[in-house]
Amino acid sequence: MTHNILQLTGALLEIEAAIAVSIYYLVIRNVIFEKNHLHRINKKVQHWV
């Protein structure tokens, strides 16, 4: 019985780790995208000024 619980806990930890990694990846990607986007907007603004 204990063995099954350990297996289940291990599986849950793996799932949680995978979710954490995906969220982290999405956040980082969004931050990089936003920075690039703002950089482009700044370039356009400077071009118009």
User: How much is the pLDDT for 13?
Assistant: 95
In tens, the pLDDT along 2-43 reads 789 999 999 999 999 999 999 999 999 999 988 888 888 888
pLDDT of residue 41: 83
Please choose, from the candidates 40, 47, 43, the residue with its C-alpha nearest in 3D space to the C-alpha of residue 32.
Answer: 40
Q: What are the boundaries of each domain within the chain?
A: 20-49
Report the amino acid identity of residue 41.
I
The amino acid sitting at 29 is R
